[in-house]
Amino acid sequence: MSMYDIILKKREGGILSKDEIDFFIENFSEDKIPDYQASALLMAIFFRGLTKEETFLLTDAMKRSGDVADLSGIAGVKVDKHSTGGVGDKTTLIVGPLAAACGVPVAKMSGRGLGFTGGTVDKMESIPGFRTSFESAEFIDLVNRTGLAVIGQTAHIATADKKLYALRDVTATVDNIGLITSSIMSKKLASGSDAILLDVKCGSGAFMETIEQASELGNWMVDIGKAAGKNTVAFITDMSQPLGLAVGNAVEIIEAIETLKNRGPADITALSLELSAYMVYLGKKAKSPEEGYKMVLDKLQSGAALKKFAEFVDGQGGDPSVVSNYSLFPKAEASREIIALTDGFIKEIEARTIGRASLHAGAGREKKEDVLDLAAGIILNKKVGDAVRQGEVLATLFAGNGQKLEDAYNIAKTAFSISAVAVEKPILIKKIII
């Protein structure tokens, strides 16, 4: 078997076998295949595509290229929740405690953010003392004790994916449904949970901008998850505007806590309840998503989910008093408001633009080695469809110095558009793929 023959076969539209895909991934992972041949195969795949069977085989090979977590020591049905990413998306910090409070073990591995804001791990590190690195036995014990743990994804999970993505990024082969699916699902399957809930974002602040693109990706990922023996469900949700009101790191933790106190923004509260209801259903603690919804709503209203969040923080070495004392979070040095210039209704808050502004304020990374300003970010005062009066504050920006604040302000102010006539609010949950 040779890489030349594999490249030629795919170039001519052939379907790759398990042995051929395993040969490629195994040898590429061990640096036995040069980048120019791997790039040639990626380009052939980009133009010829992958069948779902090929995508499953590629996903499985990439999963096996690194460590595969063994969560068998955790009692119960483990449910993982994954979002394809967006602006202001802090749902993991809400749905985790809601599901865990209902008895569903949530053992989550999260990466660090690259782009608009930090990842879940970065956000949690804005809590004083919070640890995101644990040995496997300690991690399993933590989940068994508290029902919830979030740790940093190890460098040895789906190692082939990291190498392949670096090549895709510089060879214009990122935007291929089979390659996207295998990249996401190889890491999810390697994380060891029994069931997977996917939140696929669509809109200007998401990788998939249209509902058609997001639905196709959701369907492919659900099919691959099921082929791997994992009960998998995908939500298609709106990312045309930021989710919630807070965009950043510490500010998003505070908003998550406020949501667990049942006084969070309407959109993130609604989405978190729906997502966690399905987690409870997938975790076999409810006979239907509707029963799961009643359970998580009770945990929210009773304060049980907030208590679970505090237990989770304490279990990972953080200061649980942040739940009631927000002054413990890092504070930004400078702030500036964006003011409405006219009366009307918010027509658009362009999510990608707000994300870029947050990055320039210091809340995100352009390169992996960039250091985050955990206090930087943006707080919105309005959402699409809201009425606004001239002179009202649309948003407040926070940054570590005046220059970063000025850069972020010049970007963020262009995200807002105001209509003279009433505007409908966007549909938050567009589709559920079961």
CATH number, residue 222: 3.40.1030.10
Average pLDDT over residues 107-115: 75
Average pLDDT over residues 70-87: 92
C-alpha span between 246 and 260 (Å, rounded): 15
Average pLDDT over residues 96-121: 84
Collect all residues with Cβ–Cβ distance below 8 Å to 207 and sequence separation of at least 6. 84, 85, 180, 201
Q: Half-sphere exposure of residue 374, counting CA atoms within 13 Å on the CB side?
A: 17
Which contacts (CB < 8 Å, 24+ apart) does range 365-370 have? 365/112, 365/113, 365/114, 365/115, 365/118, 368/112, 368/114
Would the pLDDT of 330 be above 90? yes
Would the pLDDT of 115 be above 70? no
Would the pLDDT of 40 be above 90? yes
243 shares a domain with 108: yes
Average pLDDT over residues 50-66: 96
Distances (CA, A) of 73 to 69, 175, 251: 11, 38, 35
Residue-level pLDDT at 103: 97
Tell me, what amino acid is at 380?
Answer: L
201 shares a domain with 233: yes
337 has which bridge partners? 396
Question: Is there a domain that residue 295 lies in?
Answer: yes
Question: Is there a domain that residue 110 lies in?
Answer: yes
What 3-state class would DSSP assign to 238?
strand
Would the pLDDT of 369 be above 80? no
Cβ atoms of residues 101 and 284 within 8 Å: no
The helix/strand count (H/E) of the chain reads as 16, 13
Average pLDDT over residues 122-130: 92
When mean pLDDT is compared across 17-21, 37-41, 134-138, the lowest value belongs to: 134-138
Q: What CATH code is carried by the domain that includes residue 362?
A: 3.90.1170.30
Question: Is there a domain that residue 138 lies in?
Answer: yes
Instruction: Indicate the residue among 286, 307, 323 that finishes a domain.
Output: 323
Tell me, what amino acid is at 378?
Answer: I
Residue-level pLDDT at 155: 67
379 shares a domain with 278: no
Q: What CATH code is carried by the domain that includes residue 20?
A: 1.20.970.10
- Which has the closest alpha carbon to 198: 217, 180, 182? 217
pLDDT band at 302 (very low <50, low <70, confident <90, very high): very high
211 shares a domain with 147: yes
Three-class HEC string of 140-194: HHHHHHHCEEEEECCCCECHHHHHHHHHHHHCCCCCCHHHHHHHHHHHHHHCCCC
Average pLDDT over residues 413-425: 97
264 shares a domain with 125: yes
Residue-level pLDDT at 169: 82
230 shares a domain with 90: yes
Question: Is there a domain that residue 60 lies in?
Answer: no
Instruction: Indicate the residue among 323, 355, 379 that finishes a domain.
Output: 323
25 shares a domain with 104: no
Q: For residue range 268-291, list pLDDT tens digits in order.
A: 999 999 999 999 999 999 999 999
Question: Is there a domain that residue 136 lies in?
Answer: yes
Domain that includes residue 275, residue range: 79-152+189-323
Give phi and psi for 267, each to the nearest 5. Answer: -70, -45
Would the pLDDT of 39 be above 90? yes
pLDDT band at 177 (very low <50, low <70, confident <90, very high): very high
Question: Is there a domain that residue 205 lies in?
Answer: yes
392 shares a domain with 264: no
Instruction: Indicate the residue among 297, 323, 349 that finishes a domain.
Output: 323
272 shares a domain with 214: yes
Question: Is there a domain that residue 165 lies in?
Answer: no
Task: Give the global pTM.
Answer: 0.92
Would the pLDDT of 176 be above 80? yes
Q: For residue range 181-217, list pLDDT tens digits in order.
A: 999 999 999 999 999 999 999 998 888 889 999 999 9
* Strands of the 246-248 sheet, one edge to the other: 246-248, 377-380, 393-399, 334-339
Report the catalytic residues: 82, 161, 168, 183, 187
Collect all residues with Cβ–Cβ distance below 8 Å to 346 and sequence separation of at least 6. 382, 383, 384, 385, 386, 388, 394, 416, 417, 418, 419, 423
Question: Is there a domain that residue 410 lies in?
Answer: yes
Average pLDDT over residues 319-347: 96
- Which has the closest alpha carbon to 95: 239, 286, 318, 269? 269
Would the pLDDT of 141 be above 70? yes
Distances (CA, A) of 46 to 14, 124, 375: 13, 37, 40
Cβ atoms of residues 203 and 395 within 8 Å: no
Residue-level pLDDT at 114: 58
Distances (CA, A) of 214 to 197, 368, 430: 15, 27, 10
313 shares a domain with 346: no
How many domains in the chain? 3
Q: For residue range 220-237, list pLDDT tens digits in order.
A: 999 999 999 999 999 999
